[in-house]
Amino acid sequence: MLVTTPRVFAGLLCAVAMCCTALAQNASYEPDTGWQAPADAAARVNPLARKPAAAAGGKKLFLRECAECHREDGSGLVKKHSADLRLSVVQGQSDGTLFWKITNGNPDRGMPSFSRLPEMQRWQLVLFLRQLAPLKDSREKQDAK
């Protein structure tokens, strides 16, 4: 019979929870190479770029509209095949590209269109995405070894 103390049991629960969280993140996300914004859309400049306080509204929108698939920290869920928004492959895209992707979605990958949101709210989302903690993608991690 295995006897455990409450402290050992709590430690085991914590380890299992951390393991499940790590497995749920989608750091191995591979972008859809065919999902490209047109050049004119990619060249658009965020009109809120000089208003960093607007990112707070973007965070509220993100938590309400996006966190279900992309998690609160932007890491994405493997089971939903959602992007880890912290990866350089995502963060390296222009504001206009991110805005276009939010607006149009990608039905082939399960990303809905958020064109129903007012334009300024979509720009706020882009502003918030820029504040997510950056994370190198798996290829960059391998190159660094």
Q: What's the CATH fold of domain 6-144?
A: Cytochrome Bc1 Complex; Chain D, domain 2 (1.10.760)
Q: What is the C-alpha to C-alpha distance for residues 3 and 64, in angstroms, rounded to an integer?
A: 44
- For residue 91, the model assigns a pLDDT of 94
8 A C-beta contact, residue 44 and residue 36:
no
In sequence order, which residues have a C-beta less than 8 Å from that of residue 28 and are 6 or more positions away? 78, 138
Report domain extents, the chain: 6-144
List, for residues 117-131, the tens digit of each pLDDT value.
Answer: 999 999 999 999 999
In sequence order, which residues have a C-beta less than 8 Å from that of residue 13 and are 6 or more positions away? none
Q: Which residues of the chain have pLDDT under 70?
A: 1-29, 136-145
- For residue 5, the model assigns a pLDDT of 58
Model pTM?
0.76
8 A C-beta contact, residue 46 and residue 97:
no
- For residue 14, the model assigns a pLDDT of 46
- For residue 71, the model assigns a pLDDT of 95
